[in-house]
Amino acid sequence: MSGQTRRDFVRLAAATAALGAMPAASARALAGGGGGAGAGAAPARVPFDLGVASYTFRSFPLDQTLAMTARLGIKRITLKDMHLPMAVTPAEMAAVRDKLKAAGIELTSCGVVYMKTEDEVRKAFAYAKLAGIPMMVGVPLAPLMDAAEQQVKETGIAMAIHNHGPNDERFPSPEDAYRVIEKRDRRMGLCIDVGHTRRLGLDPAAEIARFADRLLDVHIKDVSAAEAAGTTVEIGRGVIDTPALLRALVKIGYAKTIHFEHEKDGKDPFPGLAESVGYVRGVLAAI
């Protein structure tokens, strides 16, 4: 390791340690705050928020999921069906809203929701409407895009298609998803999973720049290798250039949410997730 690289690493590690437990709003306030700004000048603001994909806590009930999310100082969450069942009733949804409010956490979206028939498309959007969310991370079969677009128009709920990498027969890459929605309602877009994108051998930062006009959501993680066998690791320990990824999001003015999806250590994900959140906050402060 060169002297300059070592100094950069030490500086980033110090920032990460200092900011690991800092709420997202505080990290945003610091991001870009240097760079020659005059005394008293307002620091640059990172335009996006940090959230958690509840699949990270798939082995835990909703109460614990919300408690661990709040412990990280994160105020946004997207719920998977083990935490918000597809058959949720209005009364059950009201109870979920009460829990979210008590935890100080906003429900940003749901999913991934898979749709294989037109009836499943209608039920998925009804589910999202009952949840009162502005967007669903959804993956309908390609022949169902007309039905999905109609539901987007009728409900006003956006739909972000999630790519799942080398083993996904539907939408392996962001481009595969983009091509089926690029001429449709602009509320139909992408949820780019940066880990699965890298497992295809693609650069997530470049894909974000390519498809910025339809980027509705981001699932952020790191992976052990840029190949199908790559698995989730703590952010900063893998092969994804996370600083470049975050700079790309800032450059395009992405102003929604990036959701941490830490798939490693399903029975004990909190330490790895906390490390990943701290790393990202440190990078944001540094850049």
**Whole-number pLDDT of residue 44:** 58
Tens digit of pLDDT at every position of the chain (287 positions):
444 443 344 344 444 443 443 434 434 433 333 343 333 444 457 899 999 999 999 999 999 999 999 999 999 999 999 999 999 999 999 999 999 999 999 999 999 999 999 999 999 999 999 999 999 999 999 999 999 999 999 999 999 999 999 999 999 999 999 999 999 999 999 999 999 999 999 999 999 999 999 999 999 999 999 999 999 999 999 999 999 999 999 999 999 999 999 999 999 999 999 999 999 999 999 98
| Fold for the domain defined by 45-270 | TIM Barrel (3.20.20)
| CA-based torsion, 89, 95, 96, 98: positive or negative | positive
Q: How many residues does the chain have?
A: 287
Which pairing describes strands 222-223 and 232-233: parallel, antiparallel, or unpaired?
Answer: antiparallel
Q: What is the DSSP string of 46-65?
A: -SSEEEEEGGGGTTS-HHHH
Q: What is the pTM of this model?
A: 0.86
In 132-269, which ranges are continuous DSSP H helix?
A: 145-155, 174-181, 194-199, 204-210, 242-252
What is the number of other CB atoms lying within 10 angstroms of the CB of residue 139? 26
In 32-117, which ranges are continuous DSSP H helix?
A: 62-71, 90-103
**Whole-number pLDDT of residue 46:** 87
Which pairing describes strands 232-233 and 257-260: parallel, antiparallel, or unpaired?
Answer: unpaired
